[in-house]
Structure 1
Amino acid sequence: MDKCTFKTFLVLSCTIIIFFTLILAYTNNYHRYQYMAPFYNMPKIPENLNSITPIKDSEHFMVSAFIDHRLDGVIRVISIIKRNSLQQLYCVYCNPTKMITEYDCRTVQADVQIHSDHFGFPFHVSDVICKGKHTQNATRVLISTKDSDNSNNNTDYLPIKNRVRTNTFKFNFTICISNVFGNYNNVLQFAQTMEMYKLLGVQHVVIYNTSCGPDLEKLLKHYETEGILEIVSWPIDKFLSPSPGWNFQEFKGDLHYYGQLVTLNECIYRHMYQSRYVLLNDIDEIIMPYKHTNLPSLMKDLQSAHPGVGVFFIENHIFPKTQFEDSGKFKRAEWHNIPGVNIMEHIYREPDRKNVYNPTKMIVNPRKVQQTSVHSTLKDFGGSYHVPFDVCRIVHVRVPLQGHLTKDQLFVDKRVWDFEQELIPNVDQALNFSSLLRP
């Protein structure tokens, strides 16, 4: 074979090999993507960005769903139920099968447990409990008014969370801020509280946001970018007429305090296997250790002394924002144009009132709480402990409850000043990163 013929043969051989290689690759990929196509085209369960899903043919709402490993793996759906319009409800829960596009869905009667602390409001937080075979393996669920629901509309389904139980946690301390509404814009106090909690050992803060002011929105975005803040959209006013207060006779409305009790319960379950402890308090309240430098050392001692306890009550104490400390040392020009309260200026604490209940907030082990109210749990697994006033108490800077008292009748409490060297520059930095700190 001469050189010319050999070259022609070689080129032809290579061309044939390349051609068949391409054909084989195309065929393999064709079959592969034909098989995968149903997966890509399969409707996905939405992440439920609004956190509120109406239950069809009813006046009720679903919020979020969780596996409760403490109760034999039942599905617990945090819901908002209209108390006087409760009909039989059903759970439709779905388990994945070996086929990527198919689910094994079952319908069972739901057990609706309306929480006891409704304060007279028509709508209230409730647990819809789904019991059935293999509920612990389910990945999605919907609540239906029908005993057989073959709907293929996946927007009705909630993803089921907490499917894996773990003893290791992403966070040691998470704060659940029940809700922000009414274009709340108390920027300076919010920044001071966030920075104080970081110094006390908190790694994670969750806020349920209905509406806030433009300045606070900038600060929220900063903390969200920083990674410490998780913002949950909570447009409850798009579905109901929420009450701005806790007393139905005074404030009326459909639902207690913009759904505060819904979000507190939801937050506990959301972080059951993410956080060792959860703090249930408002953004203008600081759970402050007085005999420990931070929250980890406080809880280490409390849990060691009370190993079975899962709920720790912390007394609330009012620091009137109408009373200012005399020297003016923290009346900083840098904060003059920042809207909100400067907690450093308010060191006077109201005394306890005789024969008046002093409300508490809580630090809880979320795995030992089943249902919670604002100031106490409704159902728990481990008992509770009232933390002594001198060990830990809440610094709550707000309008006075005993406005008739003079400054001389109040107690001086400068605990927040112990953190001034770190707190002030950290607040300045947060305000600067939020483009709020101006010359």
Structure 2
Amino acid sequence: MKYRSNRRPYGLSKTCPSHVSDQTITPLNDTKHLLVSAFMDQRVKGFDIRIIAIFRRDSIKPLHCHFCCEGFSSITTPAKIVQHSDNFGFPFGTTDVMCPIPENCNATHVTLLPQPESEIASKQIWLPIRNRKTNMDEKEKLQFNFTVCISNLFGDYNNVLQFAQALEMYRLLGVGRVVIYNTSCGPELDRLLQIYSQDGFLEIVQWPIHQHLIPSTGWLFSAHGGDVHYFGQLATLNECIYRSMERSRYVLLNDIDEIIMPYQHDNLMSMMNMLEEQHPNAGVFIIENHFFPKKPFEGDKPGPLPQWRGVPGFNIMEHIYREEPDRTKYLPNKLIVKPRAVEQTSVHEVLKQFKETFKVPFEVCRIINCRMVYPKSDLEKLRVDTRLWDFSDDLLTNVMKMLRRARLLSSEPEGRQIG
């Protein structure tokens, strides 16, 4: 159904809107809900706009969409509220608000109202609509082959060395942009973030979820409490997919301590070209998770470079012992997706999609998950896996360059490289 609109109601200025949100989290007036971003999305019949939000699940009431149409305000249209199925028991959950645009409305901004044609429209804060259609050629719109979505930095996270190594490893594998949602981080890491941001490789989305809700540091409400799962991780992952939809061919959904690593190809593009040829109907690629826990090096194994000793964090190049996953149990896999093939995602699986799913064999690609935890398996069952060392020369050179630019290196002379 199309809704006709050609008027400017309620005294809104001709150049509406008057109050546009410049925040990444915007409270919706007179509700307990939070709005994140609005995107043009016409893949679901009957709807044009998808607003990604975090709603209080027990207080959802009907809402109405109100648009700014390039200088005048529209009539309202009824919103469809769709809660994501994964909420892990928390009171607040990721929610999509779907809106149809009225006829003859070139919508630039949207807001939500509790009543149709409400007189409080002038008090609402508007969201800009992202991913608005242009006449650009599809290839021109895709700036990047790969975008990595990282969520979330919190608790004054300050693992500078691992962060720099992960970003430089992504770059060597062919990633063009990393998006990270930052609630809080340590001062040294903040200096490094600014360098990467200035270069255009890193996009920092400020994520002050703690100013609006009590975020949980765990994934399950019954065990960890709080208002929302893991600092709003589900909302940020979905927001990042839509943020990347018109500019990136693929999106990688993984954590900062995880590297999605091809084992039969030198880079991600070569691997995906092969997978696309073999599985042309797939839009979601599941990557198996492999833990590389902390285990002391033996005497002849290389250690950290001397000038890294004062850098906060740990050296992922020392994590060469891999635990074999127990495939009889649930494995927390991660994902490579075509963003236009995904409607809703969770952390380890896609919830709604428009294409097929393919689980990539671990011998083709696996996650190198480096954590400062001790092995769960007996030491003799760990397997040596030095895939990271195949990139060591370029990786160490690039990491040194970025740490030096951020003024994070000690004054000690350069030590030997791993190789």
1:414-433 map, 5 Å: 414-433=386-405
Pairwise CA distance, 1:132:
4.2
What are the ranges of 5 or more consecutive residues in structure 1 without an aligned counterpart? 1-37, 97-101
Is the contact made by 1:43 and 1:154 (CA closer than 8 Å) also made in structure 2? no
User: Taking structure 1 as reference, are residues 110 and 170 closer, same or farther at Cα in structure 2, changes over 3 Å only?
Assistant: same
SS in 2 for 1:263: helix
Match of 2:59 in 1: 85
Q: Which moved more, 1:343-352 or 1:317-326?
A: 317-326
Rounded Cα–Cα distance in structure 2 between residues aligned with 1:159 and 1:428? 39
Partner of 1:280: 253
CA offset digits 1:130-167 (Å, max 9, x no partner) = 12423873111011222223446476000011111662
Displacement, 1:355? 2.6
- CA pair 108-42 structure 1, distance change in 2 beyond 3 A: closer
Listed one character per residue, the Cα deviations across residues 386-436 of structure 1 (whole Å, up to 9, x for unaligned) are: 000000000000144743x34322010000000011111110000000010
Whether the 8 Å CA contact 1:318–1:401 is kept in 2: the answer is no
Counterpart residue number, 1:30:
none
Highest CA radius of gyration, 1 or 2?
1
Note if contact 1:323-1:346 (Cα within 8 Å) is conserved in structure 2: no
Which range is displaced more, 132-141 or 69-78?
132-141
Structure 2 residue aligned with 1:167 = 138
Q: Which residue identity does 2:210 align to in structure 1?
A: D
TM-score scaled by length of structure 1: 0.86
The 8 Å contact of residues 295 and 375 in structure 2, kept in 1 or not, is answered as no
The question of whether the paired residues in 1 share the 8 Å contact of 2:158 and 2:189 is answered with: yes
Identity of aligned residues (%): 50
What does 1:348-427 align with in structure 2 at a 5 Å threshold? Answer: 348-353=321-326, 355-400=328-373, 402-403=375-376, 405-427=377-399
8 Å contact kept, 1:320–1:346? yes
Which runs of structure 1 show a deviation greater than 6 angstroms over 4 or more consecutive aligned residues?
none
Q: What is the 5 A alignment of 1:33-432?
A: 46=20, 48-72=21-45, 74-96=48-70, 102-134=71-103, 137-151=106-120, 153=122, 156-164=125-133, 167-168=138-139, 169-324=142-297, 326-353=299-326, 355-400=328-373, 402-403=375-376, 405-432=377-404
1:108-138 per-position Cα deviation (integer Å, ceiling 9, x unaligned): 2211000000110000000001124238731
Higher helix share: 1
What TM-score results when the alignment is normalised by the length of structure 2? 0.90
Distance 1:145 1:323, change over 3 A: farther
Amino acid at match of 2:383: F
Take 1:136 and 1:424, find their aligned partners in 2: how far apart are those partners?
Answer: 53
CA contact (8 A) 2:17 2:68 kept: no
3-state secondary structure, aligned to 1:156: coil
The number of residue pairs the alignment matches comes to: 394
For 1:240, give the aligned amino acid.
L
1:74 aligned partner, one-letter code: D
The residue aligned with 2:3 is none
Q: Cα 1:135–1:196, aligned 2, differ >3 Å: closer, same or farther? A: farther
Structure 2 unaligned segments of length 5 or more: list them: 1-12, 412-419
For the 8 Å contact 1:50–1:235, the answer to whether it is kept is no
Give, in angstroms, the shift of residue 49 of structure 1. 3.9
Distance 1:103 1:225, change over 3 A: same
Equivalent position amino acid for 1:167 in 2:
E
Judged with a 3 Å threshold, the aligned counterparts in structure 2 of structure 1 residues 347 and 159 are, in CA distance, closer, same or farther, namely same
From the superposition, tell whether residues 153 and 181 of structure 1 become closer, same or farther in structure 2 (CA, over 3 Å): farther
> Relative to structure 1, is the Cα distance of residues 394 and 313 closer, same or farther in structure 2, using a 3 angstrom cutoff?
same
| Partners of 2:360 and 2:247 in 1: CA distance | 25
CA distance in 2, matches of 1:136, 1:43: 14
Measure the CA separation in 1 of the matches of 2:132 and 2:279: 29
SS of 1:69's equivalent in the other structure is coil
Query: Contact 1:219 / 1:430 at 8 angstroms: preserved in 2?
Result: yes
